[in-house]
A and B are shown apart, each in its own frame.
Chain A
Amino acid sequence: SQTIHQWPATLVQPVGSPLSLECTVEGTSNPNLYWYRQAAGRGLQLLFYSVGIGQISSEVPQNLSASRPQDRQFILSSKKLLLSDSGFYLCAWSVRPGETQYFGPGTRLLVL
């Protein structure tokens, strides 16, 4: 069966510091991968999605970036965090674009 992992589970970072969140999927090949952010009291916002290695589409302009160095690895990064980057970051995968998405456990990020 397929599983999706995210780490770290919780992260507290100072403003201006870099960020790297990792997501990996097991048990499937060539998944479509997604990064979402859930800010406090708000819904899910799609940040990036990827249909293959090295292919990244950005949905929202911001100081975040994403990379997919391997088939089942999806990384969310920032060079300099802002206070507004605080939130709950969720990685998800699907077999094909538009099909049901399966979510990881999430990373709670607090920028101070």
Chain B
Amino acid sequence: GDSVTQMEGPVTLSEEAFLTINCTYTATGYPSLFWYVQYPGEGLQLLLKATKADDKGSNKGFEATYRKETTSFHLEKGSVQVSDSAVYFCALRTGNQFYFGTGTSLTVIP
């Protein structure tokens, strides 16, 4: 069935380091792909999305490119800040169903 696999955390980075969180998916058809972020004590917020192959979603300095050939949607940021500390969820949508990854916890230290 359809599914999303994220790199396991936790991830700890120093401020201004480069971030990559890997996400690969398995899906029939042509899914839409999403990254959600969950800050401590809060619910999920949509961070960015891409609806077709080669689309790049971007927001708040984060980027992810929909790669159909590698079935991937890796999240990247060139220079992380302490305020980026959160749990990041990769998700896909096929038809009317959403599938979420298990989440990757990121801690950024000053």
Q: Which residues of A contact B (CB under 8 A)?
A: 6, 38, 41-44, 46, 90, 92, 97-98, 100-106
Question: Contact at A100–B43, with CB atoms within 8 Å?
Answer: no
* Residue from B34, B49, B102 in contact with A43 in the complex, judged by beta carbons closer than 8 Å: B102
Given the known inter-chain contacts A43-B89, A106-B42, A106-B43, please indicate yes or no for A100 contacting B101, CB distance below 8 A.
Answer: no
Write out the residue numbers on chain B whose beta carbons fall within 8 Å of the beta carbon of A102. Answer: 46
Report B7 CB to chain A, min CB distance, Å: 13
Question: Contact at A43–B43, with CB atoms within 8 Å?
Answer: no
CA distance A27 to B95 in the complex (A): 25
Given the known inter-chain contacts A97-B96, A98-B97, please indicate yes or no for A103 contacting B102, CB distance below 8 A.
Answer: no
Question: Contact at A43–B103, with CB atoms within 8 Å?
Answer: yes
Question: Contact at B102–A105, with CB atoms within 8 Å?
Answer: no
Given the known inter-chain contacts A42-B102, A43-B103, please indicate yes or no for A98 contacting B95, CB distance below 8 A.
Answer: yes
Write out the residue numbers on chain A whose beta carbons fall within 8 Å of the beta carbon of B45. Answer: 103
Task: Tell me the nearest residue of chain B to A34, going by C-beta.
Answer: B98
Beyond the given pairs A90-B44, A98-B98, A103-B43, 5 more chain A to chain B contacts, judged by CB atoms under 8 angstroms and listed by A's residue number, are A43-B101, A92-B44, A97-B96, A98-B97, A105-B42
Report A50 CB to chain B, min CB distance, Å: 13
Write out the residue numbers on chain B whose beta carbons fall within 8 Å of the beta carbon of A43. Answer: 89, 100-103
Task: Tell me the nearest residue of chain B to A45, going by C-beta.
Answer: B100
B56 at the interface (CB under 8 A from A): no
B67 at the interface (CB under 8 A from A): no
Report B39 CB to chain A, min CB distance, Å: 10
Report A96 CB to chain B, min CB distance, Å: 9
The 3 A-B pairs at the shortest CB distance, nearest first, are namely A43-B102, A97-B96, A98-B96
Segment 49-85 of B: residues with Cβ below 8 Å from A: 49
CA distance A46 to B44 in the complex (A): 14
Given the known inter-chain contacts A90-B43, A100-B34, A104-B43, please indicate yes or no for A46 contacting B98, CB distance below 8 A.
Answer: yes
